[in-house]
Amino acid sequence: MFLLGTLVNGVLIIIGTLIGKLLHRIPESMKTTVMYAIGLSVIVLGLQMGLKSENFLIVIISLVMGAVIGELMQLEEKLNQLGFWLEKKIGSLGIGSTGKGSISEGFVTATLIFVIGAMAIIGALDSGIRGDHDILYTKGLIDGFTSIILTSTLGVGVIFSAIPVMLYQGLIALFATQIDRFIPQMLMDQFIVEMTATGGVMIFAIGLNLTGLVKIKVANLLPAILVTTIMVTILYQYHQYF
C-alpha cells in the first residue's frame, strides 16, 4: 500500500496534537531537550542516507546547482510569503483564538514545518517506488513529537496541518508508482541511490536547524533533487552509448 507511510504520518500529527492539547504546560527545558533529541536523530538519519552515494560528485554538483537555482527563485522567501498569505486568509474567516494562539497560526506554522523539506519528497518517492515507508515513519514520529510542542504554544490549529501533509505526500507517492513504467530499472536504481544521498544532505541540514546550531535555507536546496535527476539520466545515457 503506497499510501501507508503518508497515512501514518498524518495520524501521528493528529495524535501529537491531541497529546499536546492535554499537556497544557510543558516545561521549556523539556521542550528544548526534546527538540535537541529530534535534531540529533535527524542528523544521524541524514548522514546515513548521504553516505549511500556511489558517486558523491553528483551529490556535490546537484546541491551547488540546486542552491543557486533555489536562491535565484527565492524559494524560501516565497514559501514564507505563502505562509503569511494563508495566515491572513484563514484568519479572515473569523475563526477565533484557542487561547494559546490562533487556529490559523498553528495551522500555517505546522504546515510549513511538516511539508517544506526533503524528507516529505524523498519519503513519498520511496513509498511509491519501492514500497519502503521507513523515511515517512521516521518523519511521522518527528512530526508527532513536534506537534506536541507546537500545540502547547500555538493551539489546536496544528491538527489541520495533517490535511495538506497527506495530500502533498500522497500525490507524490501516487506519481512515483507510475515512474517505473517509463524508466529502465537500472536508471531508476541509480537515481534512487543518488537522490537518497542528495536528500540525506538536506535532511542533515534540517537536523542542524532543529538543534539551533545554524539556520540553513533548506527549501532553497530542493531544486537539487531535479538536478540529480538530470545528471543521473545524462550519465546513464552516456554509458549506454559509450
Ordered per-residue pLDDT tens for the chain, 242 residues = 889 999 999 999 999 999 988 876 777 788 778 778 878 887 998 898 889 899 999 999 999 999 999 999 998 888 767 666 766 665 555 544 444 445 666 776 787 678 866 678 778 888 888 788 988 999 999 899 889 888 887 778 888 889 889 999 999 899 888 876 777 878 878 887 898 889 889 889 888 987 888 888 888 998 998 999 999 999 998 888 87
Beta bridge partners of 97: 102
63 neighbors 221 (Cβ within 8 angstroms):
yes
Beta bridge partners of 102: 97
Output the pLDDT for position 4.
94
Output the pLDDT for position 97.
46
Output the pLDDT for position 86.
61
Output the pLDDT for position 116.
62
Rounded Cα gap, residues 161 and 152, in angstroms: 15
Nearest C-alpha neighbor of 118 from the set 174, 180, 195:
195
Rounded Cα gap, residues 212 and 57, in angstroms: 28
Evaluated on CA atoms 91, 94, 100, 106, the torsion sign reads negative
Output the pLDDT for position 83.
60
Nearest C-alpha neighbor of 148 from the set 10, 15, 11:
15
Output the pLDDT for position 210.
79
Output the pLDDT for position 96.
45
Whether pTM exceeds 0.85: no
Output the pLDDT for position 239.
84
Output the pLDDT for position 29.
84
